[in-house]
Amino acid sequence: MSSAANNFSVVKIALVAAVGGFLFGFDTGVIGGTQLFFTKYLDLSASQQGWAVGSALYGCFVGALIAGYLTNAISRKGTLILSAILFSISAIGSGVADSLSTLVIYRIIGGIGIGFASMAAPMYIAEISPAAHRGRMVSLYQLAIVLGFFSVFLATYFIGGGDSTQLSAEQIENAYQYNLQTGWRVMFWSEVPVAIAFLGLLFFVPHSPRWLAMKGRKQDAIDVLARLSSSPNAAEAEYEVIAKSLKQTQISSLKGLVAGGLVLATFIGVMLSIFQQTSGINAILYYGAEIFSNALGYGPQDALKQQLWLGAVNLIFTFVAIFTVDKWGRKPLYLAGTAGMIISLSILGYTIQTQVLGIASLIAILVFVGSFALSMGPIVWVVLSEMFPNNARSLGMSIAVGAQWLFNGVVANSFPIINRGELNQTEFNGALPYYLFAFCCAIAFIFVWRFLPETKGKSLEQIEEIWK
């Protein structure tokens, strides 16, 4: 097989796996448009709204923790197939829900699917990609997440009625009533075709050669490597490297991480995950429509339209990060983006507190989202994937990603409670959550400046030496 054909084959397989990231973004983002309507349809209190939004994220936490076992037991591919099934069940069930408890059950099911995909997809892509292109291939997963968010914002915007500037007051009211009764259900169902397509495509991609080697299926592993390599000899040679690496002691417990001298690496990984969530990014993505509608004074139709700006900015700056992370380095890019987040959140909070709303508030939100997409969004995933040694990567990432989903759920669940709280309304005029997020970003800036080593240009083996 020629090098060009080999690369094309890898790209095709990686793109199929990356659909898991697309569904990750779509499923977590769909709540942003739907909650504007199902909250009123189901007559939810602030705490109930937070539970409806955050419930899926606790499912993500559970899914991420057990995905490490599943990816070994039923394969990376098998775990992705299971995630596609759960995505489909969740999307259908969420759309037919007529009570908070039913909605939460189906959202948790979808969350477990996200947890599976968030571990299995990047792991699978890395294991089928040649070393020279692995970073680029894995970055497709992060890009797919952002595309999923943008696509669901686009879907909810058009399902919700599209541009309302040319509509009469009666037409706007009719569109609102449709969304209140039916539109939010269709928004959930819009995920189903992609989930089913993902399920079907997965049956046409091979198992990870590393998983096959781990299960003692030597010839199957070599056959897959031959499909991905430039020659049979290269496939044989790569298999020998994989087989040798699998003979090394595997760290499979917290005690093993401590004994292996990886306490600092694990601590940094967990803290990076926590900071990524306490920055407030997902609160703004999940509750973006409500923020635009209530805090910034946009009507429901216009609020859905403004979410498109969030998705577009997120997408554009993710591309910027992909093309600069290996040039600028992980740490400088993280610090630059975090500084932008601190400034934009502070400005947003001030405009809300003083009620000087308008273009400044919108720009502040967009700068915040762009700064996140440039820094915390992609760089945390890059660092987590490279900071742990080969024999501890599965466990180390599982702990860090589990912490990420746990705090994602905490922030999503607590945001409406803090936002509607008496202290926020009477003393801060609605700005308190954004000041809290800015404070968390400031702590993250100091932490990364002090503790995070720069890994740009270092081999995985050189990175391992940092923790010794």
Instruction: Mention every residue, 6+ apart, whose C-beta is less than 8 A from residue 163.
Output: 301, 305
Could you give phi then psi for residue 356, rounded to 5 degrees?
-95, 70
pLDDT of residue 286: 57
Element (H, E) at 100: helix 100-128
pLDDT at 299 over 60: no
User: Distance between CA atoms of 317 and 250, rounded to whole angstroms?
Assistant: 37
- With cut-offs at 50, 70 and 90, classify the pLDDT of residue 252: low
Q: Which residue has the higher pLDDT, 442 or 386?
A: 442
Q: Mind listing the pLDDT tens digit for each residue in 114-125?
A: 999 988 888 888
Least confident of 20-24, 35-39, 338-342: 35-39
pLDDT at 6 over 70: no
User: Distance between CA atoms of 400 and 406, rounded to whole angstroms?
Assistant: 10
- With cut-offs at 50, 70 and 90, classify the pLDDT of residue 421: confident
Give me the percent of the chain exceeding a pLDDT of 70: 83
pLDDT of residue 165: 64
Set out the domains of the chain in order of their start, with CATH numbers.
Answer: 1-205 (1.20.1250.20), 252-468 (1.20.1250.20)
User: Distance between CA atoms of 309 and 458, rounded to whole angstroms?
Assistant: 36
C-alpha R_g of the chain: 22
On the 0-12 / 13-18 / 19+ scale of CB atoms within 10 A, 182 is: middle
pLDDT (mean) for 165-178 = 75
Do residues 137 and 14 lie in contact, with contact meaning Cβ atoms separated by under 8 Å?
yes
Q: To which residue do tokens 């040798």 refer?
A: 244
pLDDT at 352 over 90: no
- Residue 129: helix, strand or coil by DSSP? coil
pLDDT of residue 461: 52
Least confident of 36-45, 158-167, 431-440: 158-167
pLDDT at 251 over 80: no
pLDDT (mean) for 237-254 = 70
pLDDT (mean) for 286-299 = 55
Do residues 47 and 229 lie in contact, with contact meaning Cβ atoms separated by under 8 Å?
no
- Residue 80 tokens read as 């992705």
- With cut-offs at 50, 70 and 90, classify the pLDDT of residue 195: very high
Q: Which residue has the higher pLDDT, 296 or 39?
A: 39
Do residues 202 and 77 lie in contact, with contact meaning Cβ atoms separated by under 8 Å?
yes
pLDDT of residue 1: 45
pLDDT at 68 over 50: yes
- Residue 119 tokens read as 């571990």
What residue type is assigned to position 8 of the chain? F
Q: Which residue has the higher pLDDT, 266 or 229?
A: 266
pLDDT at 262 over 60: yes
Q: Mind listing the pLDDT tens digit for each residue in 91-108?
A: 999 999 999 999 999 999
Do residues 224 and 38 lie in contact, with contact meaning Cβ atoms separated by under 8 Å?
no
- Residue 10 tokens read as 């890898």
pLDDT (mean) for 288-312 = 59
Q: Mind listing the pLDDT tens digit for each residue in 323-349?
A: 887 778 889 999 999 999 999 999 988
